[in-house]
Copies of this chain bind each other. A is one copy, B any other.
Amino acid sequence: MSRIRVAVDMDEVIADTYGAMLDWLVGQHGAQWSSTSLQGRQIFDVLTPEIAETLREAMHDGAFFADLPVIEGSQSALAAIASRCELFITSAAMEFPNSLGPKFLWLQRHFPFVDPLNIVFCGDKSIIAADCLIDDNARHFQRFGGQGIVFSSPHNANVTGYPRIRHWSEAMGVLAEVFPELL
């Protein structure tokens, strides 16, 4: 039997882009938002157009993506998934093309066990052929051919209809519920 193919998103799933955006906003604009006040909303939806533009500019500089913190528990969880499944990293990176190189190097640094040939940078994730996709953006699941699994982030707190991983420590358990053959 061929192995189950698991696709995993980067931003806000294994890389704390969300936290880095908040830190940048607080540092540059003394912003008063916290992840609690952003519950159920995307960062860009609560910013004024002017502040959103300054954040986009900062993110167009690829350096923004070079030193993102690693999401807690993701390294050991992905190592476990890679030992049982076929693991791909699938990142929507085309909005910020300068992030492509830094994101690749970040993956090599923090997830050295991920085969570079299993890294995918794309926009529309309906192009991904995998059994499941672990992603914080449920909009990617609508045209995706496999099973979407939500990875919790403040902005998706109200999303329902998909299995959910709240912390990477739950990942193998949730995957085994979706794919009983992993048990």
Instruction: Name A residues whose Cβ lies closer than 8 Å to a Cβ of B.
Output: 5, 7, 62, 88, 90, 94-95, 97-98, 100-101, 104-105, 115-124, 126-130, 145
Q: Which 10 A-B pairs have the closest CB atoms?
A: A117-B123, A100-B100, A129-B129, A97-B104, A121-B121, A120-B122, A94-B116, A117-B124, A100-B101, A127-B129
A117 neighbours in B (Cβ, 8 Å): 94, 122-124
Q: Are A101 and B101 in contact, with the CB atoms below 8 A?
A: yes
Give which listed residue, B5, B7, B121, contacts A100 with CB less than 8 A: B121
Q: Are B127 and A120 in contact, with the CB atoms below 8 A?
A: yes
Given A119-B122, A128-B129: A97 and B105 interface contact (C-beta under 8 Å): yes
Q: Are A88 and B119 in contact, with the CB atoms below 8 A?
A: no
A90 neighbours in B (Cβ, 8 Å): 127
Q: Which residue of B lies closest to A115 (CB)?
A: B123
CA distance A145 to B124 in the complex (A): 18
Give which listed residue, B88, B101, B118, B119, contacts A98 with CB less than 8 A: B101
A122 neighbours in B (Cβ, 8 Å): 117, 119-122
Q: Could you list 25 A-B pairs, sorted by A, with CB under 8 Å?
A: A5-B127, A7-B127, A62-B101, A88-B124, A88-B127, A94-B116, A94-B119, A97-B104, A97-B105, A97-B116, A98-B101, A100-B104, A101-B101, A115-B123, A118-B124, A118-B127, A119-B122, A119-B123, A120-B120, A120-B121, A121-B121, A121-B122, A122-B122, A126-B129, A128-B129
A119 neighbours in B (Cβ, 8 Å): 94, 122-123
CA distance A101 to B128 in the complex (A): 21
Q: Which residue of B lies closest to A100 (CB)?
A: B100
CA distance A57 to B5 in the complex (A): 33
